[in-house]
Amino acid sequence: MILVSSCLAGLEVRYNGTHSLDLRIRELIEEGQAVSVCPELLGGFSTPREPAEIVGGNGEDVLDGKARVMEQSGQDVTELYLRGAQLTLDKARQVKAKAVVLKEYSPSCGSAMIYNGQFAGQKEAGNGVTTALLRRNGITVLSEETLASYLQQNR
């Protein structure tokens, strides 16, 4: 089984109420090979919600207590992100996920690049909070950008 970001599956769960449908992901779900999860909804957020970015580091730093996740208005939402990451890890274990495919650039789900914490649309290398926790626990995390090579090797 593969665990995938709900927004990549076409669910309108992004902060602004939109989705990020990837047809390959939807196909995996329709074939019964994947189930979807949204770490931010698991953490306690609803849709729509304020945009948030990691300030002062990346997902690894958030796990280590060295950076925070902040909403644009200044609200510290780190605890909700940590809760969502833990519940996503629980879900990955529950379904025995052999890989997890998460949406790139998100402060939860990014796996190579995230926004840099200045709310100016600029990205930097780093992963989101959920990705960091999953990887620390030995789980392979891909994104829609790196899915093609995984599918070539595993289908």
Name the residues that contact ligand SF4, by CB under 6 A.
5-7, 13-14, 38-40, 102-103, 106, 108-109
Distance CA 7, CA 48 (A): 13
Q: Min. distance of Cβ 97 from ligand SF4 in angstroms? A: 14
Q: Which residue from 66, 82, 73, 34 is spatially nearest to 51, judged by alpha carbons?
A: 73
Q: Which lies closer to ligand SF4 via its Cβ, residue 14 or residue 68?
A: 14
Q: Min. distance of Cβ 126 from ligand SF4 in angstroms? A: 15
Q: Min. distance of Cβ 137 from ligand SF4 in angstroms? A: 18
Q: Which lies closer to ligand SF4 via its Cβ, residue 42 or residue 67?
A: 42
Q: Which lies closer to ligand SF4 via its Cβ, residue 39 or residue 59?
A: 39
Q: Which lies closer to ligand SF4 via its Cβ, residue 33 or residue 47?
A: 47
Pairing relationship of beta strands 113-115 and 123-125 according to DSSP bridges? antiparallel
End-to-end CA distance of the chain: 12
Which ranges constitute the DSSP H helices of the chain? 23-30, 39-43, 59-63, 78-94, 129-136, 147-154
